[in-house]
Structure 1
């Protein structure tokens, strides 16, 4: 049994494979027929071989198992606290609270939670030194691992305004860097770029440039930076994207003597989710969660299939959580360390994405940096150009969303089931910069179908 089972077979080189393929093509051009180029300019070959363009493999260093994270929007303190505890009892391993204002009693919110073995994320929609200090005290007293998602540059990108202004916001971060030693408090919202239509290369470069603003403007960063990533439907590209983010972040961090790996929290994309034939959203989020795990995300927070049109509900959350439980405990996605390392195709994708994103990052830095390019509108324009190209592919049927622009169910009715407004909300206000707008591909088509429903009624 110890004999090499393949010793009787002669090795076949990549050159021999290519010659055979060329023969089978019967004169058709190999490059034009079989090499596909993505919208990012990534070239995908029909096969990959160990003797062809395989340099040193990347090491993503994502050795620990991913954590199943549950999103909870805090609107009622007692209900949110009970829901968090129940969620943990049902299989979640970490909780991400989104908090709108500082009136919430954060001590009561987490009082019942087993913080010693539960990672907690606080996504704060405001900036308050006192509130963050309370969280820091909780982390110290209860030996807890807590990430506080504070991202002034991300707020500027998403809302068009700072919390206060550039100087004040970064003064707060510098104050927290001294006052809070028990929590992780710097975060980069990279999900915004994917949900707004940026391609993979842009997402990586913008995340890197976004993080670089904090390295430049915060004097001491003594804890890992959290990077929130949105995962799309292009399975292998998304695996490679997350790997490239980690590799480039670590390369950047070394320049600042920051010796911590980034902490990646992955969430499925909203961009390809649909209102009609909504059950297909479960299939989309399953493959997206798989990409996140195989790419090396530290935590994955799934998106409920009905999150576009239903308020938070127990059934949707349970289904979303169970998808991750199946992947972890029945499909054993947590049993192999760095499963994508050494896969020729994924390594090649990672290499191409890394090189192109690094080039774009250098260009951003050479032209003033991330914040400067936001103020000038360059980043918004580039994302809009990418989003427009993708939208055109969807509108023409070249990019397919099953149940929406391919095999739609004409009898499907949704107007009676909308608890939430599922489209881009227009909120006229004065902004310092043009905000980056998240928009789903199917919005226009869905609005037309809803209007048709009203006419029939």
Structure 2
């Protein structure tokens, strides 16, 4: 059939649609009645048309640029790694769990280290050349990286085959572990020096995970994450670090929550904003070379009705992949209540596999490319982040706001308001303030005490579960 069935219908502009809707509302205000807002306060129109994408041409070059196309025959165009997280307490048992995970769908490992671990036991029979490795330092970052690289040298591991990242967030590290600015800048310098030659291994992060899990909204997260990297970059450049080399060693790390469409836009915003920011430094790179590591959210997980967290994890994993992550760590659904067991670890790694192998999200590089709603939301988010960054600079920069606790207080206020909205019923959490399972007896784990200089993970449902 060659005849278009739509030619006989008159075209209607968005203005005409709004006029018709306003008429049907019978005197009610169009915006007050039908507009809503994201969790970050960005306005959402009730509908979008092609007219809304006019003027968004700058987004077009970023469509379908998420990861390099695989050279392996039969691989789908969309590729991301499925990450297993291992908190190392005892090397022998950790090694067994790592090998089990790698044998059951995982192709990347993230290991939490304090320093002094025996890598010959921890990574025994782990073929690092075939996976991505992420090191999560919970001690001296320089000492931990030195130990890891010394192990690689001892086993004569080819430097060009190491893929992954040293999950160190630069200045953001000070939100968890007390450090001075000079110490953090020196650590960054040493990490960059130590990792020379390891081209596929990143060592400095633009990390928004801390903010998200502490309760920040998407605008706060993005602005403070980029603000900290920019301040660190300025000081490293003053120490003689080549900015192009710094960029090549930088990864993005974020946690993805349950506000599905805004979280998709947030992950996309990390890639686009970083790429545009680099033009100010005179650096040009392929947007698909920007490495984004995402995890599902600690903030959204509940201690009540634990199995509902599986649904949250699935939505967050999908938003991560659609938004453009390159590595995905799905948290155990019961991590808010207890140490993960074999079942919850299996569920975590299976979610990424299901999203890939059964939902076929690996078959299309960028399924939201050209989406009227998501791309409009993305542009609003980018503009809000630019405005927020300008305010950060005017108020003295990231470190000044950190040292004066202004940043922490701002995010803690946002956290408290979100948690109170759950108590008041303005925000619905199934299993907590809506349709609770009265037979459910949750195991409550208290959160660590938070100092005024810290931003530690919290939970949206916290006040409602006390």
2:458 is matched with which residue? 439
Residue 348 of structure 1 and its aligned partner are, at CA, apart by 0.6
Task: Please show how residues 49-88 of structure 1 align to structure 2 within 5 Å.
Answer: 49-52=49-52, 54-57=54-57, 58=59, 59=62, 61-63=65-67, 64-88=78-102
Q: Once the two structures are superposed, what CA deviation does each residue of 1:70-97 show, in whole Å capped at 9, x if it has no partner?
A: 1111111122122212211100121111
Give the SS at the match of 1:70: strand
Asked whether the equivalents of residues 423 and 439 of structure 1 are also in contact (C-alpha less than 8 Å), the reply is no
Tell me whether 1:343 sits opposite 2:371 in the alignment. Answer: yes
Task: Please show how residues 38-53 of structure 1 align to structure 2 within 5 Å.
Answer: 38-52=38-52
Task: Please show how residues 219-230 of structure 1 align to structure 2 within 5 Å.
Answer: 219-220=241-242, 221=246, 223-230=248-255
2: CA distance, partners of 1:12 / 1:206: 42
Residue 407 of structure 1 and its aligned partner are, at CA, apart by 1.4
2:279 is matched with which residue? 254
Q: Once the two structures are superposed, what CA deviation does each residue of 1:183-233 show, in whole Å capped at 9, x if it has no partner?
A: 311123311111111111111111111221232222241524122211111
Task: Please show how residues 374-413 of structure 1 align to structure 2 within 5 Å.
Answer: 374-413=402-441
TM-score (norm 1): 0.89
Asked whether the equivalents of residues 423 and 463 of structure 2 are also in contact (C-alpha less than 8 Å), the reply is no
Residue 153 of structure 1 and its aligned partner are, at CA, apart by 1.6
Residue 362 of structure 1 and its aligned partner are, at CA, apart by 1.6
Query: Match for 2:381 among 349, 353, 357?
Result: 353
Tell me whether 1:96 sits opposite 2:96 in the alignment. Answer: no
2: CA distance, partners of 1:321 / 1:283: 14
Tell me whether 1:176 sits opposite 2:206 in the alignment. Answer: no
Taking a change above 3 Å as real, the CA distance of residues 15 and 142 of structure 1, as seen in their structure-2 partners, is closer
Task: Please show how residues 87-236 of structure 1 align to structure 2 within 5 Å.
Answer: 87-99=101-113, 101-136=114-149, 138=152, 140-141=158-159, 143-159=161-177, 161-162=178-179, 165-181=180-196, 182=198, 183-218=201-236, 219-220=241-242, 221=246, 223-236=248-261
2:32 is matched with which residue? 32
Residue 131 of structure 1 and its aligned partner are, at CA, apart by 3.5
Asked whether the equivalents of residues 54 and 344 of structure 1 are also in contact (C-alpha less than 8 Å), the reply is no
Asked whether the equivalents of residues 272 and 401 of structure 1 are also in contact (C-alpha less than 8 Å), the reply is no
Taking a change above 3 Å as real, the CA distance of residues 167 and 259 of structure 1, as seen in their structure-2 partners, is same
Asked whether the equivalents of residues 305 and 432 of structure 2 are also in contact (C-alpha less than 8 Å), the reply is yes
Give the SS at the match of 1:122: strand
2: CA distance, partners of 1:308 / 1:444: 14
Q: Once the two structures are superposed, what CA deviation does each residue of 1:297-336 show, in whole Å capped at 9, x if it has no partner?
A: 1111001111112213211010111111111001001111
Q: Once the two structures are superposed, what CA deviation does each residue of 1:276-297 show, in whole Å capped at 9, x if it has no partner?
A: 1111111111111111111111
2: CA distance, partners of 1:8 / 1:334: 39
Query: Match for 1:423 among 446, 450, 456?
Result: 446
Residue 102 of structure 1 and its aligned partner are, at CA, apart by 1.3
2: CA distance, partners of 1:268 / 1:5: 44
Taking a change above 3 Å as real, the CA distance of residues 303 and 129 of structure 1, as seen in their structure-2 partners, is closer
Residue 130 of structure 1 and its aligned partner are, at CA, apart by 4.5
Give the SS at the match of 1:300: strand
Asked whether the equivalents of residues 422 and 464 of structure 2 are also in contact (C-alpha less than 8 Å), the reply is no
Asked whether the equivalents of residues 35 and 43 of structure 1 are also in contact (C-alpha less than 8 Å), the reply is yes
Asked whether the equivalents of residues 171 and 229 of structure 2 are also in contact (C-alpha less than 8 Å), the reply is no
TM-score (norm 2): 0.87
Residue 380 of structure 1 and its aligned partner are, at CA, apart by 0.9
CA RMSD of aligned residues (A): 2.1
Give the SS at the match of 1:52: helix
Asked whether the equivalents of residues 224 and 263 of structure 1 are also in contact (C-alpha less than 8 Å), the reply is no
Asked whether the equivalents of residues 223 and 385 of structure 2 are also in contact (C-alpha less than 8 Å), the reply is yes
Residue 6 of structure 1 and its aligned partner are, at CA, apart by 4.1
Residue 355 of structure 1 and its aligned partner are, at CA, apart by 0.1
2:263 is matched with which residue? 238
Residue 390 of structure 1 and its aligned partner are, at CA, apart by 1.1
1: CA distance, partners of 2:310 / 2:220: 27
Give the SS at the match of 2:134: strand
